[in-house]
């Protein structure tokens, strides 16, 4: 299973904020540190703010900070929220493709659905705080911007 870029970025933003201490990086700072376009980072930050996982303040002294809800957020729940409820495969056919002719009697769809749920369940007990425990936390602070 491959995560969407927005899911990956959301997890990395929360991890970075979990170790930010008293500093409050801006969305531009986060975008630069993660080497992603500002517009992409801004969309992810807005969604995380809407979910109550971080706060964003504008102006002097502003920036991003992780909420307690964000620190204790389940990684499995975050991945589910960003990935959506869709199946791993599109058996019913998207607008540009025809439905799979095997969909009524195929066992693959159910097997992949169970595997997808097992993936999420394995992530459910992990929190953002767990992901940033030593030795990862100090490493996150020292990660230079990659070009």
Q: Give per-residue pLDDT as tens, 98-119.
A: 777 877 778 888 898 899 999 9
Tokens of 136: 């990862």
Q: How much is the pTM?
A: 0.83
To 5 degrees, how large is the angle CA 31–CA 32–CA 34?
A: 65
Q: How far apart are CA 59 and CA 89, in angstroms?
A: 44
Tokens of 73: 């957020």
Q: Give per-residue pLDDT as tens, 7-62.
A: 999 999 999 899 887 788 899 988 988 889 999 999 999 999 999 999 998 888 78
End-to-end CA distance of the chain: 26
């Amino acid at each position: 299973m491959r995560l969407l870029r927005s899911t990956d970025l959301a997890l990395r933003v929360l991890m970075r904020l979990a170790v930010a201490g008293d500093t409050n990086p801006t969305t531009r700072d986060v975008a630069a540190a993660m080497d992603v376009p500002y517009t992409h980072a801004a969309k992810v930050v807005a969604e995380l703010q809407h979910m109550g996982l971080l706060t964003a303040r504008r102006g002097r002294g502003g920036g991003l900070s992780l909420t307690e809800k964000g620190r204790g957020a389940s990684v499995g729940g975050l991945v589910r929220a960003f990935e959506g409820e869709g199946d791993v495969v599109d058996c019913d056919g998207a607008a540009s493709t025809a439905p799979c002719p095997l969909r009524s009697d195929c066992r693959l769809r159910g097997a992949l659905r169970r595997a997808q749920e097992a993936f999420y369940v394995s992530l459910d007990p992990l929190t953002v705080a767990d992901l940033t425990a030593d030795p990862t936390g100090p490493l996150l602070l020292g990660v230079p911007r990659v070009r």
